[in-house]
Amino acid sequence: MKKIMIFVMIFVLIIFLLIYFFHTTKKEKNVVLLGVECDITDINTSDKILTIIGAEGGREIIQQESKIDCKNLEKDGKIVKFNSSNEPNILKFDDLKQSDRIKINIDEKQLQNNNEFLKVKQIELLSKN
């Protein structure tokens, strides 16, 4: 009787471990690309939409013009410019101008999807033109 009970317990343990390992291996990796340099090519101030294209190293990542909806970014304080002491100054959408250089943080999956708008985590203003 004890042998049967031990066998059942080992069998249940093995099944539990198999389920656990299969569940943990199916998790997708969320890769966020930090600091992709872009130039602002157009600004729609009424809808708060930026049109951007990759600049320098960012051109390899964002090769064509893409749009970013900035309503939520502005509301969440995710449009910033870092000062000399590396502290973020929160900016308004209206502070961004055409041909400004920005850095964006974006999910790698967003670049692979063919959505109308890119969902960006943060915008950092690098230089004003």
Q: What's the pTM?
A: 0.71
Assigned domain for 22 exists: no
Q: Can you list the alpha helix ranges (DSSP code H) found in 1-129? A: 2-25, 71-75, 108-112
CATH number at residue 61: 2.40.50
Residue 64 has pLDDT above 70, yes or no: yes
The number of residues making up the chain comes to 129
The string of pLDDT tens digits covering residues 6-52 is 989 999 999 998 888 877 666 667 777 888 899 999 999 999 999 99
Assigned domain for 8 exists: no
Query: How many structural domains does the chain have?
Result: 1
Q: Residue 86's domain spans which residues?
A: 32-127
How far apart CA 27 and CA 126 sit, in angstroms, is 35
Assigned domain for 6 exists: no
Q: Which of 108, 122, 125, 43 is CA-nearest to residue 76?
A: 122
Assigned domain for 2 exists: no
Kindly report the average pLDDT of the chain as a whole number. 87
